[in-house]
């Protein structure tokens, strides 16, 4: 008689595996894969039924039971997140999130889900998104939750080194102390000279474009400016995109592509170590790091060029620390500075310009304010007057509110063995909790009336009766101990660049910008916003 495949045993084994995976959450993907392949094979052997057909049937029964059991459990009332509503597919599988991240629509979909389900939405089998204002303090604030598995694919896959963004606990606090020194008011004054030099270089190009009234892709030029500036800051120079008027070496594209890959892998952190064995997937990171390392060697030899730069502080060249940071750590943080500090600021500037050109009355008012604060064109580089730019600041607040450059951001994770309380709801251990800025900023309980409208005056009116302006719910730079360390620098960049442009030029949309749908609809959420279309602008000299 032909031996029958042990189907009933395969079903029991599938169920037992689910219990094991659920209880112990094994992180080693190679071992887990091996176990899944070997077990059905061993079972057919144990039942003396070894044949190709029997192995196939047993494996299918085993895998079908395991998958079904996981799916049913995730939808069942026994799942610890069963009390939180959300789309069925999101509850069942992480592949829903993978598709969402690939589409670039994560921020818009999260907002739509909150509109449908309320403050708490289950956006993954073990993920929750919360937009209640109290969540900001309880998740990011003192006594909040640490970064978890989402951030693991951002650890350098080749050297295993952690940057400020991926380090936690004491390691983060120690690193942050050095960064904070690098971003003190005194340091920022030094950085301004470096920024001014780059901004003047941008204006030379713009003067030429203005004299010929040619259309330019403003978003691309802001990126060149910010990449060159951050390259100067982190490694004493190197990109020279402004000089070339393009991304000659392809670093911008490389960072853009890399950002998307990492954003997807952040949804499947258990798969990242295996995928990182594929050379193609680490090629970009290696190239960027090689670039950083080469510049770092030059920078270490030459010393700061113009003024103390960020490298000076990160490397602790003044000797404040008992233990000096290693070259490897500082290269990692330098690369982080370029990634975290270039696209964020350039997207903020681009969104601001888009908002202004879409609202000509606001444009005229803000230009008048800049003229009043800076009567002399060469004084626009003086940041001591930034406090007087109240309306311009309100315009940036509003652009950052509507289009936060980090629109969804990374979640925090409730540690194993702990129970999280987020905005009054109990959230179980190991759950990842998002507080997405885009959805928080557009909630009428936080900004009212017209939360989707560009209305800079709401910041000046300050939430009068019948209006809501909840400052705590304004989180473009996140909140708490791991908020944006470059916030002060970003504000100086935005106000200085905007003042210089408004003082010097008339700006209007290039051809087709108003008719061809909205530029902001093509903003793609890849953790940091990635610009999808050209921001065509025509410059002309001011009379
Ligand atoms: C408008 C511009 C900017 C925005 C909207 C922005 C936003 C953010 C956000 C939301 C975070 C938190 C990310 C997370 O929790 O995963 C962050 C972190 C960070 N940002 Fe920025 N950023 C901007 C500019 C800059 C600049 C100019 C730098 C300069 C180097 C910078 C450096 C960093 C670093 C190093 C971190 C990690 C901080 C930590 O983990 O302690 N950012 N930023």
pLDDT tens, residue by residue, 185-234:
999 998 999 999 999 999 999 999 999 988 999 999 999 999 999 988 88
Helix (H, G, I), strand (E, B) or coil at 509: strand
Which is higher by pLDDT, 244 or 29?
Answer: 244
CA gap 270, 286 in Å, rounded? 21
Helices (H), 384-486: 390-402, 437-441, 457-461
Nearest CA to ligand 1 atom 11: 484
Distance 434 CA to ligand 1 centre (A): 17
- Contact yes or no for 422/119 (Cβ under 8 A): no
- In this predicted structure, the answer to whether residue 1 has a pLDDT above a threshold of 70 is no
Chain mean position to CA 193: 28
Instruction: Report the pLDDT value the prediction gives residue 489, as an integer from 0 to 100.
Output: 96
Is the predicted pLDDT of residue 494 greater than 80, yes or no? yes
- Please tell me the distance from the alpha carbon of residue 347 to that of residue 404, in angstroms, as a whole number: 9
> What does the chain come to in residues?
543
pLDDT of residue 120: 98
Give the model's pLDDT for residue 44. 92
Relative orientation angle of helices 487-504 and 360-373, to the nearest 10 degrees? 100
pLDDT at 256: 81
Instruction: Tell me which of 176, 474, 478, 486 to substitute to probe ligand 1's pocket, judged by most ligand atoms within 8 Å of the beta carbon.
Output: 486
pLDDT score for 19: 87
Q: Is 26 helix (H, G, I), strand (E, B) or coil?
A: coil
Mutate to test the pocket of ligand 1, among 340, 350, 399, 401 (most ligand atoms within 8 A of CB): 340
* Percentage, residues of the chain above pLDDT 70: 97
Q: Which stretch of 93-107, 190-204, 300-314 has the lowest confidence by average pLDDT?
A: 300-314
Q: 123 phi and psi, to 5 degrees?
A: -110, 10
For ligand 1, atom 3: residue with the closest CA: 344
Instruction: Measure 112 CA to ligand 1 centroid, in angstroms.
Output: 26
- Write the pLDDT tens digit of every residue in 357-367: 999 999 999 99
Give the tokens for residue 420: 């999280």
> Per residue in 80-94, pLDDT tens?
999 999 999 999 999
What number does the ligand 1 atom closest to the CA of 176 have? 41
CA nearest neighbour of 107 among 341, 257, 263, 270: 263
* Angle formed by the axes of helices 251-265 and 327-358, nearest 10°: 100
- pLDDT class of 308 with cuts at 50, 70, 90: confident
What pLDDT, on the 0 to 100 scale, is given for residue 319?
A: 86
CA distance 63 to 361: 62
Distance 483 CA to ligand 1 centre (A): 7
Phi, psi of 537, rounded to the nearest 5 degrees: -135, 140
- Return d(Cα 151, Cα 105) in angstroms, integer: 20
* pLDDT band, very low/low/confident/very high, at 444 (cuts 50, 70, 90): very high
SS (H, E, C) 169-211: HHHHHHHHHHHHHHCCHHHHHHHHHHHHHHHHHHHHHHHHHHH
Question: Is 395 annotated as ligand-binding?
Answer: no
pLDDT for res 459: 96
- Report which protein residue has its CA nearest ligand 1's atom 17: 484
Strand 412-413 to 432-434 pairing: antiparallel
Q: Is 524 helix (H, G, I), strand (E, B) or coil?
A: strand
Task: Quickly tell me which residue has 């270490």 as its tokens.
Answer: 300
| Tokens coding 374 | 């800076």
Q: E-assigned strands of 460-535?
A: 468-469, 505-509, 524-526, 528-530
Q: Which helix (DSSP H) or strand (DSSP E) does residue 231 occupy?
A: helix 218-235
Beta bridge pairs of residue 537: 216, 509
pLDDT in tens, 157-171: 777 888 999 999 999
Atom of ligand 1 nearest to the CA of 151: 16
Q: Atom of ligand 1 at shortest distance to CA of 167?
A: 40
In this predicted structure, what is the pLDDT of residue 511?
86
Residues 412 and 146: beta-carbon distance below 8 Å? yes
pLDDT the model gives residue 305: 67
User: What is the per-residue pLDDT for 284?
Assistant: 72
> Are 42 and 13 a contacting pair, CB within 8 Å?
no
For 338-380, the pLDDT digits (tens) are 888 999 999 999 999 999 999 999 999 999 999 999 999 999 9
Q: How many CB atoms lie within 10 A of CB 63?
A: 15
Q: Does ipTM surpass 0.95 in this model?
A: yes
At 302, is the pLDDT very low, low, confident or very high (cuts 50, 70, 90)?
A: confident
pLDDT band (50, 70, 90) for residue 23: confident
Q: Ligand 1 test: best mutation among 163, 191, 403, 484, most atoms within 8 Å of CB?
A: 484
Q: In the prediction, which pLDDT does 278 show?
A: 80
Q: Which residues line ligand 1 (CB under 6 A)?
A: 164-165, 176, 336-337, 340-341, 344-345, 348, 405-406, 409-410, 476-478, 482, 484-486, 489-490
Compute the mean pLDDT over every residue in the chain, rounded to the nearest whole number: 91
Segment 303-316 shows an average pLDDT of 80
Query: How many angstroms separate the alpha carbon of residue 484 from the centre of ligand 1?
Result: 4
Residue 5, CA atoms < 13 Å, CB-side half-sphere = 17
pLDDT at 438: 98
pLDDT tens digits along 282-296: 777 677 777 777 777
> Residues of the chain with pLDDT > 90: what percent?
68
pLDDT bin (cut points 50, 70, 90) of residue 434 is: very high
């Amino acid at each position: 008689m032909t031996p029958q495949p042990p189907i009933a045993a395969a079903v029991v084994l599938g169920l037992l595996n689910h219990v094991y995976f659920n209880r112990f959450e094994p992180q080693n993907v190679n071992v887990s894969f091996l176990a899944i392949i070997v077990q059905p094979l061993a079972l057919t052997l144990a039942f003396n039924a070894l044949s190709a057909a029997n192995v196939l049937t047993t494996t299918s029964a085993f895998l079908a039971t395991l998958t079904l059991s996981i799916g049913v459990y995730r939808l069942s009332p026994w799942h610890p997140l069963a009390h939180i509503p959300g789309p069925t597919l999101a509850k069942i599988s992480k592949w829903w999130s993978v598709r969402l991240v690939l589409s670039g629509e994560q921020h818009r979909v999260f907002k739509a889900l909150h509109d449908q389900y309320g403050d708490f939405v289950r956006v993954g089998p073990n993920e929750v998104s919360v937009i209640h204002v109290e969540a900001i303090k309880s998740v990011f604030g003192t006594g909040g939750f640490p970064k978890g598995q989402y951030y693991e694919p951002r650890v350098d896959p080749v050297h295993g080194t952690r940057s400020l963004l991926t380090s936690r606990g004491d390691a983060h606090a120690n690193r942050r102390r050095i960064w904070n020194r690098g971003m003190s008011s005194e340091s920022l004054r030094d950085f301004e000279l470096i920024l001014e030099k780059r901004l003047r270089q941008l204006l030379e190009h713009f003067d030429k474009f203005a004299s010929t009234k040619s259309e330019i892709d403003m978003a691309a030029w802001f990126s060149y400016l910010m990449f060159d500036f951050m390259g100067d800051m982190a490694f004493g120079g190197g990109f020279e995109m402004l000089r070339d008027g393009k991304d000659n070496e392809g670093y911008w594209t490389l960072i853009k592509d890399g950002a998307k890959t990492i954003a997807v892998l952040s949804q499947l952190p258990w798969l990242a170590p295996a995928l990182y064995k594929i050379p193609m997937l680490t090629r970009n990171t290696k190239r960027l790091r090689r670039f950083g390392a080469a510049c770092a060697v030059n920078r270490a030899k030459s010393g700061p060029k113009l003024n103390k730069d960020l490298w000076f502080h990160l490397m602790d060249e003044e000797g404040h620390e008992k233990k000096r940071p290693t070259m490897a750590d500082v290269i990692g943080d330098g690369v982080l500075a370029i990634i975290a500090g270039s696209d964020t600021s350039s997207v903020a500037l681009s969104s601001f310009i888009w908002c202004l050109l879409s609202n000509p009355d606001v444009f005229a008012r803000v230009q008048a304010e800049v003229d009043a604060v800076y009567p002399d064109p060469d004084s626009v580089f003086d940041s001591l007057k930034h406090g007087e730019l109240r309306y311009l600041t309100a315009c940036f607040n509003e652009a950052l509110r509507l289009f936060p450059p980090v629109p969804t951001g990374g979640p925090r994770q409730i540690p194993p063995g702990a129970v999280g309380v987020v905005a009054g709801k109990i959230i179980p251990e190991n759950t990842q909790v998002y507080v997405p800025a885009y959805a928080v900023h557009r909630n009428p309980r936080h900004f009212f009336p017209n939360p989707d409208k560009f209305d800079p005056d709401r910041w000046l009116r300050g939430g009068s009766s019948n209006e809501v302006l909840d400052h705590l719910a304004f989180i473009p730079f996140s909140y708490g101990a791991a908020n944006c360390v470059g916030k002060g620098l970003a504000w100086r960049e935005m106000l200085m660049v905007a003042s210089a442009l408004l003082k010097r030029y008339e700006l209007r949309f290039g051809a087709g910008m108003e008719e061809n749908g909205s530029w902001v609809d093509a903003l793609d959420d890849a953790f940091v916003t990635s610009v999808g279309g050209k921001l065509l602008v025509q410059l002309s000299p001011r009379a």
